[in-house]
Amino acid sequence: MTELFPPAGGAVAPASPPQRRSWFPLVWPVALAGIWLAAALIVEDRGLLNSMKHAAIILTAVGWTIWLLGFSQAPSGRRWGLAALIMGPIVAFYFQLLPIETVNDGDVGIVGIRWRWADPDRDLAPPTNSDQVSLDWQATPTDYPAFLGGKFFAQADDPGIAVDWEANPPRQLWKQRIGAGWSGFAVVGDYAVTQEQRGDEELVTCYDISTGKPVWSHSNPVRFDPSGGGSLGGIGPRATPTIHDGRVYAHGATGIVDCLDASTGEAIWSVDTVAELNAAPLLWGKSSSPIVDDGLVIVSIGDPAANITPDSDGQGHSLVALSAETGELVWSAGDRRASYATPVMATLGGVEQILVVNEAFLTSHDADDGTVLWEHPWPGDSDANASTSQPVPVGDDRVLLSKGYGEGAELIQINRDGDDWAIERVWKKPVLKTKFCNVVVHDGFVYALDDANLQCVQLASGKQAWKKRRRPRFGHGQLLLVGDRLLVLTEEGEVVLVATDPKKYEELASLPAIEGVTWNNPTLVGDRLLVRNAEWAACFQLPTTAAPSGNRVAETDR
């Protein structure tokens, strides 16, 4: 009850001080850490876990700051000073205000830190071209002339690889520095072509496979070096060149499509799709490799509908076909925003068509004029849970889709009745969660890196046969089907040979090949294996049962 009269002498009793939450600075981060640890026991997606870890760090700092400013009994100046000391580094780090940058793996894990001005590609001089006036490109049966070899999925002929790599290890032919980027090698005969970033020049470079020496290079004065969330994808070009009829076709990270003479590297024509075709940049760079068919160079450049200027016939610029001879626009079609996948040519329902995974749809275009035949919803946001994996036709009327970020895979059936198309789902399951890689199909089973684990799934039903977690991790590496074996290039740059056995995982051999985060696809031509990442490239001669190499890995680093 409130006293009506004050105590004798007129003194007023002091009010009790408010209760202070002194326990909060300790309990708050412990609670967040507990939530993260609990999630780590049930969530397989390391990308999600790492994102939760970053969120816990930020929430801890924010919570401490709120407690300091709103509840702490410390003097005002001290409270504000401590708050600035807590939030300052957090804001500076996550808003990239510091002169450092992080090197991240595919799960947003920090694997290195370096000064912003110390990107390795800036230390590389332009390649020194060979004295040869022109090259003699001799095609061979084992050529690998395009992304994934120009096939639905990465596949190469088996040269008869011997599996005892302890007694008879692969022989390193060369290993050397290379410019930044995630392109693979396209190979015809004795020459390999890739794309790379060296300083302010985006290059298409041709190398001699036997020696690793550059033969020619073509440069464009552009540099793809995104900031903010885009910086997680790194610097430089992403797409793999295509070699066709004595020419090299390349799609740069900023949207430049080049046609080069394969013998000399001299430019025949060039189209800047951003400046000339109203394309807009993607957060993580243009990644669609060009495909060449019937005199056309087909490239996915699509962007949000608001950024597309339709032609007079109402067609958009999602997928474009350029003349392989001149670079002139032959047709353009579709109004979907591009993803990071490469189109594929397929015959479904007796009709030749081009399949392309766009931002939120699988779209089919008529191969003759680009007309959209049919579409199927397929989740994706090119600024967030991006799609990178190609659609894989399996048979004459089915297509397999796969995607990371917890999405999984779906097998669809394509039904045609004259000009009418209907899409029917066969199955959709949380398997084959391919974040950066593509699946391979062999004898009715599908193999893929499901997040960071190698997985085998029955194609007809989507039922998992097995899944393997490995140390060192597979990570977000790449797969190549070689005969009846899988060659895996892990995210850490290790080559692992695995049997394609749906009954069990069987590792046959392994080799540490290159250092650093490795997202690039490997290339196998005969017994020569080419691997690269954003800093290193190497070529190994694999031992074969017919002609064993008989030598230890050579120390030929340049």
- Calculate the alpha carbon distances from 333 to 291, 341, 372, 441 in Å: 16, 17, 7, 30
Q: What is the pLDDT of residues 525-555, one digit of tens each?
A: 999 999 999 999 999 999 999 754 443 343 3
Residue 466 is predicted with a pLDDT of 98
Please give the residue that has the higher pLDDT: either 242 or 78. Answer: 242
- Calculate the alpha carbon distances from 255 to 28, 195, 212, 236, 289 in Å: 47, 13, 28, 12, 11
What would the 3-class secondary structure string for 309-334 be?
CCCCCCCCCCEEEEECCCCCEEEEEC
Range with the lowest mean pLDDT among 61-70, 83-92, 192-201, 359-368? 61-70
Residue 1 is predicted with a pLDDT of 42
**In contact, 231 and 283? CB cutoff 8 Å:** no
Please give the residue that has the higher pLDDT: either 75 or 23. Answer: 75
Residue 461 — very low, low, confident or very high, per pLDDT cuts 50/70/90?
Answer: very high
DSSP code at position 557: B
| Domain spans of the chain, in order of start | 20-99, 123-541
Report the distance separating Cα 161 and Cα 144, nearest Å.
Answer: 18
Residue 228 is predicted with a pLDDT of 77
Please give the residue that has the higher pLDDT: either 53 or 516. Answer: 516
How much is the mean pLDDT over the chain? 89
Query: Given CA atoms 529, 512, 473, 384 in this order, what sign does their dihedral have?
Result: negative
Residue 16 is predicted with a pLDDT of 52
Scored b (16 or more CB within 10 A) or e, 321-344 reads bbebeebebbbbbbbbbbbbbbbb
Residue 22 is predicted with a pLDDT of 64
Mean predicted confidence (pLDDT) in 312-335: 87
Range with the lowest mean pLDDT among 108-112, 342-346, 518-522? 108-112
pLDDT beyond 50 at 133? yes
**In contact, 413 and 423? CB cutoff 8 Å:** yes
- What share of the chain has pLDDT > 90, as a percent? 69
Given the candidates 2.130.10.10, 3.40.190.10, 2.40.50.100, 1.10.760.10, the CATH classification of the domain at 123-541 is 2.130.10.10
Mean predicted confidence (pLDDT) in 337-360: 97
**In contact, 157 and 149? CB cutoff 8 Å:** no
Q: What is the pLDDT of residues 139-166, one digit of tens each?
A: 999 999 999 999 999 999 999 999 999 9
Q: Per DSSP, what are the bridge partners of residue 480? A: 487
Instruction: Identify which of 182, 49, 107 has the alpha carbon closest to the alpha carbon of residue 452.
Output: 107
Largest CA distance in the chain: 111
3-state SS class at 217: strand
Please give the residue that has the higher pLDDT: either 227 or 449. Answer: 449
Mean predicted confidence (pLDDT) in 171-178: 98
Give the strand pairing for 155-156 and 478-482: parallel
Residue 18 is predicted with a pLDDT of 52
Residue 207 is predicted with a pLDDT of 97
> What are 84's two structure tokens?
């600035």
**In contact, 370 and 332? CB cutoff 8 Å:** yes
Q: What is the pLDDT of residues 415-443, one digit of tens each?
A: 999 999 999 999 999 999 999 999 999 99
Mean predicted confidence (pLDDT) in 58-74: 85
Residue 21 is predicted with a pLDDT of 54
Residue 143 is predicted with a pLDDT of 97
Residue 401 is predicted with a pLDDT of 98
**In contact, 540 and 171? CB cutoff 8 Å:** yes
Instruction: Identify which of 164, 64, 148, 100 has the alpha carbon closest to the alpha carbon of residue 524.
Output: 148
Q: What is the pLDDT of residues 496-510, one digit of tens each?
A: 999 999 999 999 999
Q: What is the pLDDT of residues 7-18, one digit of tens each?
A: 445 455 555 555
Residue 553 is predicted with a pLDDT of 40
Report the distance separating Cα 165 and Cα 156, nearest Å.
Answer: 20
Mean predicted confidence (pLDDT) in 401-414: 96
Please give the residue that has the higher pLDDT: either 68 or 358. Answer: 358
pLDDT beyond 70 at 455? yes
Residue 171 — very low, low, confident or very high, per pLDDT cuts 50/70/90?
Answer: very high
For residue 43, the one-letter residue type is V
Query: CA-based angle 377:379:384, to the nearest 5?
Result: 150
| In the block, residue with structure tokens 């849970």 | 385
Residue 276 — very low, low, confident or very high, per pLDDT cuts 50/70/90?
Answer: very high
Cis-peptide, bond into residue 472, ω within 30° of zero: yes
Mean predicted confidence (pLDDT) in 339-343: 97
